[in-house]
């Protein structure tokens, strides 16, 4: 018997998070590379006080029923939490934590890397060389748009969108943005950023970078119509969530030259099937959801996720450091 809180950690995360959890809890850690199958997850969370989840684990009423009424915290190892039914957790008094802030710059770094790689055809060039096709220096070989001095349209001007703007400033880019809410004048001024309706932003941008949360409103935000508003040379970068872009519409737009190129860190579905039409297109670059994948950042995310879990299961219960449903502590 142990009076240490029972917790389930749904994947191996860096030691910065595992060590404090193991020290304080009766912890079961899912060691496989792949997520626990649904039935295994539901079984593993039974009787837990806290669960550390990943974006691959759906937390809904079925999960909460399986866990039981003693569950006090779901700590999501991500800044995004579209895998969690937050109202369902709140209704049961379960705090939900995420890992905001620590991955902002790392994610913006990858967004910019994708922007540059897709624009300047880096992956295509690498494939060209490896295929033995490089015969000479060619005046017309693998031409792309300039990044410096181009116009970038940032859709979603929160922490990560603004971090992308900081990088764009270094490249002398004209910065346009769109968001549901216009930023404060001081923020616009700091980045020299111009707020535009989405249609105008898409029409004017050489590069479009997506940084919105996944919600009902942003699902398939970029569809056939929106793609048709973009320049035929434009590069679309998605490091937000896969379903924000309609993949069928995107493949069609890339194939028909409606837009120039796309670079995706996220896809719908994930992982993208190896026979997906997007993967047959040379002007589409895809990487496996690695925007936050620096050693330092994944370590900080682990620390934060552990801190949320441990505060949530503490006796007496503590307020978790970064709740996405603070109302759970202050019911109306
Ligand atoms: C997140 O945190 O939401 C990313 O997608 C993974 O780091």
Nearest residue by C-alpha to atom 6 in ligand 1: 78
The finding on whether 80 has its CB within 6 A of some atom of ligand 1 is yes
Which residue has its alpha carbon closest to ligand 1 atom 4?
78
Residue 1, pLDDT above cutoff 90: no
CA 292 – ligand 1 centroid, Å: 6
CB 237 within 8 A of CB 111: yes
In this structure, what is the dihedral angle of CA atoms 248, 178, 232, 281, given to the nearest 10 degrees?
-40
What's the distance, CA 9 to chain centroid? 20
What pLDDT, on a 0 to 100 scale, did the predictor assign at position 331? 72
6-102+295-328 and 104-286 share one CATH topology?
yes
Taking the centre of ligand 1 as the mean of its atom positions, its distance from the CA of residue 316, in whole angstroms, is 30
Tell me the CA–centroid distance for residue 137 and ligand 1, in Å: 40
Q: Is 270 a catalytic residue?
A: yes
Closest CA to ligand 1's atom 1:
78
Domain map of the chain by residue range?
6-102+295-328, 104-286
Q: Is the C-beta atom of 79 inside 6 A of ligand 1?
A: yes
Q: For residue range 279-306, what is the model confidence (pLDDT) as tens digits? A: 999 999 999 999 999 999 999 999 999 9
Q: Do the Cβ atoms of 74 and 322 come closer than 8 Å?
A: no
130-183 pLDDT per residue, tens:
999 999 999 999 999 999 999 999 999 999 999 999 999 999 999 999 999 999
Ligand 1 center to residue 54 CA distance, Å?
A: 9
Pocket test for ligand 1, best of 53, 238, 291, 293 (most atoms within 8 A of CB): 291
Q: Which two tokens stand for residue 116?
A: 């540059």
pLDDT(205) > 70: yes
Give the residue-averaged pLDDT of 237-257: 98
The pTM for the full model equals 0.96
Name the CATH superfamily for 104-286.
NAD(P)-binding Rossmann-like Domain (3.40.50.720)
- How far apart are the CA of 100 and the centre of ligand 1, in A? 9
DSSP 109-153: HHHHHHHHHHHTTHHHHHHHHHTT---S--TTTT----STT-EEE
Average pLDDT over residues 28-34: 97
CB of 21 within 6 A of ligand 1: the answer is no
Task: Look up the CATH number of domain 6-102+295-328.
Answer: 3.40.50.720
CA quadruple 80, 85, 91, 93: dihedral sign? negative
Residue nearest to atom 2 of ligand 1 (CA): 78
Q: For 67-108, what is each residue's pLDDT tens digit?
A: 999 999 999 999 999 999 999 999 999 999 999 999 999 999
Distance of CA 139 to the CA centre of its chain: 38
pLDDT given for residue 71 in this prediction: 98
pLDDT at 150 (0 to 100) = 99
Distant-in-sequence, close-in-space partners of 8: CB < 8 Å, separation ≥ 6: 27, 28, 30, 44, 45, 48, 51, 52
pLDDT for 2 beyond 90: no
In short, whether 103's Cβ falls inside 6 Å of ligand 1 is yes
């Amino acid at each position: 018997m142990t009076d240490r809180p029972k917790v389930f950690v749904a994947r191996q995360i860096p030691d910065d998070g595992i060590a404090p959890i193991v020290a304080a809890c009766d912890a079961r850690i899912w060691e496989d590379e792949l997520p626990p199958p649904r039935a295994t997850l539901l079984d593993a969370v039974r009787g837990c006080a806290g669960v550390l989840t990943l974006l691959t684990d759906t937390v809904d009423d079925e999960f909460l029923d399986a866990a039981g009424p003693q569950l006090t915290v779901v700590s999501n190892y991500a800044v995004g939490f579209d895998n969690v039914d937050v109202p369902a957790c709140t209704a049961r008094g379960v705090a939900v934590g995420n890992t905001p802030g620590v991955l902002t710059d790392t994610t913006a770094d990858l967004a910019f890397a994708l922007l540059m790689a897709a624009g300047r055809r880096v992956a295509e060039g690498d494939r060209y060389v490896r295929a033995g096709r490089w015969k000479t220096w060619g005046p017309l070989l693998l031409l792309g748009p300039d990044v410096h001095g181009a116009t970038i349209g940032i859709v979603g001007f929160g922490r990560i969108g603004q971090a992308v703007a900081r990088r764009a400033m270094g490249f002398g880019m004209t910065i346009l943005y769109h968001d549901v809410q216009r930023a404060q004048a001081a923020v616009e001024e700091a980045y020299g950023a111009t707020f535009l309706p989405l249609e105008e932003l898409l029409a004017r941008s050489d590069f479009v970078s997506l940084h919105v949360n996944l919600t009902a409103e942003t699902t398939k935000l970029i569809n056939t119509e929106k793609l048709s508003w973009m320049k035929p040379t434009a590069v679309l970068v998605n490091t937000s969530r896969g379903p924000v872009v309609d993949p069928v519409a995107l493949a069609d737009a890339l194939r028909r030259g409606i837009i120039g190129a796309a670079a995706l860190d996220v896809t719908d579905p994930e992982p993208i099937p190896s026979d997906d039409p997007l993967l047959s297109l040379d002007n589409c670059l895809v990487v496996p959801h690695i925007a936050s994948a620096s050693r330092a950042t994944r370590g900080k995310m682990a620390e934060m996720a552990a801190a949320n879990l441990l505060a949530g299961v503490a006796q007496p219960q503590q307020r978790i450091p970064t709740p996405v449903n603070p109302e759970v502590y202050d019911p109306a």
